[in-house]
Amino acid sequence: MSGLTALGVVYGDIGTSPLYALRECFFGVHQVPANRDNVLGVLSLILWSLVIVISIKYLVYVMRADNNGEGGILALMALLVPWRRGDSPPRVVVLTLGLF
């Protein structure tokens, strides 16, 4: 579970934190005037911060994952095979989910 949170798969925080940050920029203690340039600047700052953080996390975590030197989504899906015990979806379903 901590691996998922490290990758940023906590959708509630990702979805609501920018909204709170946007509100604090214009209505908080250190507020800026809510004109067109400031709104676009703050939205740009939030958007680019999310893009950069997600890209760096992708580079750090996902790009280091490999299957005996092989990369790609199918090689990483092969790592899931030992975890498929008991009732699991058919291989075609898992492969399709990995591709899309």
Give per-residue pLDDT as tens, 33-70. Answer: 999 999 999 999 988 988 888 888 877 777 777 778 77
- 72 and 98 together in one domain: yes
Cα 50-53-58 angle, rounded to 5 deg: 120
- 54 and 76 together in one domain: no
Euclidean distance between CA atoms 4 and 82, whole angstroms: 19
Of 92, 48, 65, the residue nearest 6 (C-alpha): 65
Quick one: average pLDDT of 78-83? 70
Q: How many domains does the structure of the chain reveal?
A: 2
Neighbours of 91 (CB within 10 A): 11
Euclidean distance between CA atoms 95 and 73, whole angstroms: 9
- 55 and 80 together in one domain: no
- 56 and 98 together in one domain: no
Euclidean distance between CA atoms 26 and 42, whole angstroms: 9
Q: Which domain holds residue 49?
A: 1-64
Quick one: average pLDDT of 82-89? 59
| Token duo for residue 18 | 């920018």
- 18 and 51 together in one domain: yes
